[in-house]
Amino acid sequence: MADSVLKPDNSKIDLSPEQFRRFVEAASRAPSPDNNQPWCFRRSGSGIDVLHVRGRALPSDIDDYFSWQALGPAIENIVLSASCENLRADVRYHARPFAESTDGELVATVEFSSGAESDPLAKFIDERVSNRRPYKSVPLAESETAALEQSLHDPQCKLLWLTQPADLKALAKLVYITDRIRFEHQPFHDEFHKVLRYDDAQAKETGDGLDLKTLEIPAFAIPIFKWVRPWKRMKLANHFGLSAMFAGNSKQLVRKSGAIGLLLTTQASDERYLEAGRSLQRVWLACAAAGLAFQPMGGLPMFLTQFARKGRDAFVPEHAVRLAEIVEPFYDLFPAAREHTLVMLFRIGMAPPPSARSLRYPLERIISREDN
Ligand SMILES: Cc1cc2nc3c(=O)[nH]c(=O)nc-3n(C[C@H](O)[C@H](O)[C@H](O)COP(=O)(O)O)c2cc1C
């Protein structure tokens, strides 16, 4: 990937220390897989360096594809916040091998010049949230999904939609299959329990991970989650149908949605995924602006991507068989996805606000030590 400059400008503006902190604060509000916040920020001349903290990346990530869907939204939040101060932000993506420092890998640099108009999506940066409640089963109108498409940032991204109950039902079956694999494979189980935060104290202490309350887990079920933390117990519980029960919940949630969206891009490259991450954030913010709840469903596209790239050998045989069986039904539901690269699947709809919000690291932890 060559270094690329979007909208070059010669009259760069130096950020004040307060502006730098404001933009980093906005970046930190971005979503990230399992709330891992794999980012760090540094002042660079007149701009901001965006660093990837590999030590926080998910072990199950494929070529950083999930991390880029967190860094892309963080970058978009910087661009949006800058627009509110009439600053135009130009994003330059760096090529591999990324320059490394003790704080992370240099993935992008954002530079600022004067002349932007305030982007109305910026107002929703703090409101955007993952909402894992059941939504109203009222299909979104075509005009509503078309309006969301207007918010895409990258012309190489595309959104496909399912709104009809029969299609949601068909997709729910595929989500069920991949969710069961998540609960029935020890590496995924261990990864999940490493990021679970069982109570407020633990959530506050770490400032990251998945607070069970944000997962809408009812209080009575929390002891079950704690009990099955050791893989041996989970394996035993799966014999009695626990993985089927958990995956069954996801299946219901897919059906209880106003629409399912699939975000695609043209190529599996760092730059395309980062740009797609920016688009994901814009669509999510546009949903917040429209009063629509949003939940990413990363499992299905992640498994399909892994299966397509690494083949059957990357999975235990019984999971490889199940995954092979869902590829065609998935592309039958989204025929236009065959010529594209999968980015993210998500559900949207009308719902009450989530029971809890996820926390973030303090700014000191995500600002490079050189700037602290
Ligand atoms: C790449 C990516 C994948 C995600 N996958 C899922 C998922 O499969 N299921 C889910 O409920 N949330 C998923 N999320 C949402 C994150 O868990 C969420 O952004 C994070 O916990 C922070 O919470 P917030 O979005 O409410 O700020 C994903 C987010 C990203 C960026």
pLDDT in tens, 193-220: 999 999 999 999 999 999 999 999 988 8
Q: How far is the CA of 282 from the centre of ligand 1 (A)?
A: 15
Sign of CA dihedral 188, 190, 191, 197: positive
List of long-range contacts for 84-87, beta carbons under 8 Å, 24+ apart: 84/118, 84/119, 84/122, 85/19, 86/114, 86/115, 86/116, 86/117, 86/118, 87/13, 87/112, 87/113, 87/114, 87/116
- Average confidence (pLDDT) over 275-283: 98
Domain ranges, residue 103: 4-126
What is the domain-level CATH number for residue 122? 3.40.109.10
Please state the φ and ψ torsions of residue 160, each to the nearest 5 degrees.
-115, 150
- Residues 203 and 268 occupy one common structural domain: yes
How many CA atoms, within 13 angstroms, populate the side-chain half-sphere of residue 351?
26
- Residues 192 and 302 occupy one common structural domain: yes
- Residues 88 and 151 occupy one common structural domain: no
Number of domains in the chain: 2
- Residues 168 and 244 occupy one common structural domain: yes
Residue 220 has a pLDDT of: 87
Q: How do residues 115-156 score in pLDDT, each as one tens digit?
A: 999 999 999 999 999 999 999 999 999 999 999 999 998 999
- Average confidence (pLDDT) over 265-286: 98
Q: How far is the CA of 110 from the centre of ligand 1 (A)?
A: 24
Q: How do residues 213-239 score in pLDDT, each as one tens digit?
A: 999 998 888 999 999 999 999 999 999
Residue 10 has a pLDDT of: 56
The torsion angle over the Cα atoms of residues 234, 239, 245 and 248, rounded to 10 degrees, is: 110
- Average confidence (pLDDT) over 351-359: 97
Q: How far is the CA of 156 from the centre of ligand 1 (A)?
A: 23
- Residues 180 and 305 occupy one common structural domain: yes
- Residues 38 and 167 occupy one common structural domain: no
- Residues 91 and 150 occupy one common structural domain: no
Residue 372 has a pLDDT of: 53
Q: Which of 28, 29, 32 to mutate to test the pocket of ligand 1 (most atoms within 8 A of CB)?
A: 32
Sign of CA dihedral 268, 272, 278, 283: negative
Q: How do residues 3-35 score in pLDDT, each as one tens digit?
A: 334 444 557 889 999 999 999 999 999 999 999
Residue 7 has a pLDDT of: 43
- Average confidence (pLDDT) over 313-335: 96
- Residues 202 and 342 occupy one common structural domain: yes
